[in-house]
Structure 1
Amino acid sequence: MSHSETQPATHADHPHKSRWSRWKKPLTMLFFLALIVLFTMLAQRIEWDEVFSNLADFKVRTLIIASGVTLVSFLVYACFDLIGRTYIRQDLTWKQILPVGIISYAFNLNLSAWVGGVAMRYRLYSRLGVSKGNIAKILGLSLATNWFGYMVIAGAVFTSGLVRMPPGWKLSTGALQGVGVLLLLVSAGYLVACQFSRRREWSIRGVEINLPSLRMAILQLALGALNWSLMAAVIFTLLPSKLDYPLVLGVLLISAIAGVITHIPAGLGVLEAVFVALLQHEASRGSLVAGLLAYRAIYFILPLLITVVMYLVVEAKAKSLRIAKKPK
């Protein structure tokens, strides 16, 4: 092989990549500025007295129900990692895995996927003696469970036409139904691949990826869809009673994509903007914002506070074990 063949690729070799690198930062800044303007305009149109009045009117029973559904949702998400235990065939107990899943989910929701989904899992599973390769497999399976579950539930809801897009939006109701059909086809394609694909293993950047069995894939889709349904149930419990659950679920699914695109931790402001834009003809802005603020407190902030304590306990136990193992 000649010297020129071994040289790393330069920007000249990839003009399109170089051009994108130059434009990526200013375009991202413009996008965030547009979001700030949007959220400022939204805040100015909201009657904050109504928001605070609705927050004060929440019944204790409603908050308890929302908290109970939140707990079930976190347990369901933690079960993604239980599937991962079977996937990597490692001898870990559910008592070891569930806390990792719950802690990771809370940090993921509030501090981004890199902190919660990746860094926290690597730290906690490393303490349990899981190799980096197997941690990567658990993480990959968890992501697949979440997003293929999303595709199933979103595909069903969007295709049904239960979510009607407001007039003037670039994405029409018919286009949303088309997106739903596409999501269902991708989900079905995943199941077909798991059942019939002859090639079961791939290696991406040194990480080995294996296709799960059809039974495991169906369990993935079921748990993923269930978790999205539970998230919507928490919001539904806290929003005005005249709203239908399928509509709330559909709007949550749309807002999730908007949150992923913006890369804002916890989708802060994006969730509220999408819900108000799509449901303001169904309920007052103040009641919608009040319900969503309560949702953030119950589904995001409260679990984070609890899991910070859980994490500190895990770290303390690990430290005590290290001290006990030191030779005297």
Structure 2
Amino acid sequence: MSHSEAQPASHSDTPGKHHWHRWKRPLTMLFFLALIVLFTMLAQRIEWNEVFDTLADFKVRTLIIASGVTLASFLVYACFDLIGRTYIRQNLTWRQILPVGIISYAFNLNLSAWVGGVAMRYRLYSRLGVSKGNIAKILGLSLATNWFGYMVIAGAVFSSGLMRMPPGWKVSSNALQDVGILLLLLSMGYLAACRYSRRRKWSVRGVEIILPSLRMAILQLALGALNWALMAAVIFTLLPSKLDYPLVLGVLLISAIAGVITHIPAGLGVLEAVFVALLQHEVSRGSLVAGLIAYRAIYFILPLLITVVMYLVVEAKAKSLRISKKPR
């Protein structure tokens, strides 16, 4: 087909796009309105005296353990970018990369992926002399590491039957097991592509995508899954002891998808709504909300405060950290 013959088809798509853009804003507003109503109803059903009493009863030892696991999670996430260094084959030291990964993760969690995952990485890596093309590769690899790791651990938890849905839910435990099997197949398909695919390079909007080696892909899945496991471990430490870890992990994995769908920065309110909905038949709502408030303070707010200082330090030392482009 010639270019002139293909042209009308592209114009025929335009009305559909305009139609979607016309309805996108009101539908989004209605969706957020429904969320506000949902969260208001949820807040009215919470015994807030129990929440405050539970928060006051937290032991220092528990908070220290949760903080230590949080630190481990941030270091694991920062290692996503260490894989990226190998992927782009650029001479960066771990002392340059780890602060970028940690700062980006904290801003990503609190201010959305566009601010933390994208804008902050572009800012910090460009200060280190990394090209825009290579920054895009690091971003893509980090995204793949996170979500293929998610597929592995969610697939394992859901397909194992350890995550049981509450009675009366439309999504049955059997359906959740089927989703788990599908996720495992997708992650195994990624590994198979990395091992057997003959074509190793693609170009998407001018950005070259190179399929990683099988060894690198396995490391991606392992680190991605480990980070999700550590996130759940922080919540598990702060929730009532009668809850099992696989159950807490499964609920976190379900809430993550709900957070992605809503696009609310930090998943504010979504995480709490999902945990209360799925676990209120196991423990009281007040104890759940108290544990999640502590989780937000330790895993979201505290790291953000620390990384703001880190960012200012990195910016101040940017010239000394910059990769020298002068030939020797």
TM-score range for the pair, normalised by the shorter chain length: over 0.9
Q: Which residue pairs with 1:164 in the alignment? A: 164
Structure 2 CA distance, aligned partners of 1:4 and 1:250? 51
- Correspondence list, 1:134-283, <5 A: 134-283=134-283
Q: Please give the residue correspondences for 1:303-322 in structure 2 after superposition, counting only pairs within 5 Å.
A: 303-318=303-318
In the alignment, the residues of structure 1 paired with residue 147 and residue 123 of structure 2 have an alpha-carbon distance, to the nearest angstrom, of 23
- Residues 2 and 107 of structure 1: CA distance in aligned 2, closer, same or farther (over 3 Å): closer
Output the amino acid matched with 1:84: G
Shift of 1:166: 2.0
| Alpha-carbon spacing, 1:212–1:53, altered in 2? closer, same or farther (3 Å) | same
How many residue pairs align between the two structures? 321
Cα deviation for residue 321 of structure 1 reads 8.5
Q: Distance in 1 between matches of 2:69 and 2:32?
A: 33
Tell me whether 243-252 or 24-33 shows the greater mean CA deviation. 24-33
**Which deviations, in whole Å up to 9, do the C-alpha atoms of 1:61-115 show, x marking residues without a partner?**
0000000000000000000000000000000000000000000000000000000
Q: Specify the alignment match of 1:51 in structure 2.
A: 51
Determine the C-alpha separation between the residues in 2 that align with 1:126 and 1:270.
34
2: CA distance between counterparts of 1:51 and 1:265?
23
Distance 1:41 1:188, change over 3 A: same
The separation in 1 between residues aligned to 2:82 and 2:130, in whole angstroms, is 14
User: 1:96 and 1:312 mapped to 2: Cα distance?
Assistant: 14
Per the alignment, residue 103 of structure 1 pairs with: 103
Match of 1:40 in 2: 40
1:256-285 Cα offsets, whole Å, 9 max, x none, are 000000000000000000000000011000
Equivalent residue for 1:293? 293
Q: Whole-Å Cα distance in 2 between the matches of residues 271 and 3 of structure 1?
A: 51
Secondary structure at the counterpart of residue 317 of structure 2: helix
Distance across 2 between alignment mates of 1:4 and 1:236: 60
**Offset, 1:132:** 0.3
Aligned equivalent of 1:72: 72
Distance in 1 (CA, whole Å) between partners of 2:102 and 2:8 is: 46
For 1:153 and 1:254, the matched residues in 2 are separated by 12
- 1:17 Cα offset (Å): 2.6
Of residues 14-23 and 127-136 in structure 1, the stretch that sits farther from structure 2 once superposed is: 14-23
Give the structure-1-normalised TM-score. Answer: 0.94
In structure 2, give the amino acid aligned to 1:176: L
What do residues 106-153 of structure 1 show as CA deviations (whole Å, max 9, x unaligned)? 000000000000000000000111000000000000000000000000
1:61 aligned to 2:64?
A: no
Query: Equivalents in 2 of 1:200, 1:321: separation in Å?
Result: 33
Per the TM alignment, residue 34 of structure 1 is displaced from its structure 2 partner at its CA by 0.8
* Kept in 1: contact 2:96–2:321 (CA 8 A): no
Q: Output the amino acid matched with 2:266.
A: A
For residue 167 of structure 1, give the secondary structure of its aligned residue in structure 2: coil
Matches within 5 A, 1:16-35: 16-35=16-35
Q: Deviations over 1:33-63 (max 9, x none)?
A: 1111110000000000000000000000000
| Match in the other structure for 2:82 | 82
Report the Cα distance in structure 1 between the residues aligned to 2:190 and 2:135, rounded to whole angstroms: 22
1:167/1:22 Cα in 2 relative to 1: closer, same or farther (>3 Å)?
farther
1:8 Cα deviation (Å)? 11
Question: Once the 2 structures are TM-superposed, how far is the Cα of residue 19 of structure 1 from its aligned partner?
Answer: 2.5
The AA in structure 2 aligned to 1:95 is R
* Secondary structure of 1:14 counterpart: helix
What residue identity is the alignment partner of 1:250? G
Backbone CA RMSD of aligned residues: 1.8
Is the alpha carbon distance of 1:25 and 1:216 closer, same or farther for their aligned partners in structure 2, counting shifts above 3 Å?
Answer: same
Letter in 1 for 2:239: L
**Which whole-Å CA distance do the structure 1 matches of 2:15 and 2:137 have between them?**
34
Q: 2:148 touches 2:224 (CA, 8 Å); kept in 1?
A: yes
Letter in 2 for 1:233: A
Deviates more, 1:157-166 or 1:17-26: 17-26
Q: Write the letter of the residue equivalent to 1:203.
A: S
Who is 1:129 aligned against? 129
TM-score, length-scaled by structure 2: 0.94
Greater CA deviation, 173-182 or 63-72?
A: 173-182
Structure 2, unaligned stretches of length 5 or more? 323-328
Task: Identify the residue that residue 94 of structure 1 maps to in structure 2.
Answer: 94
Gap change, CA 1:233 and 1:137, over 3 Å in 2: same
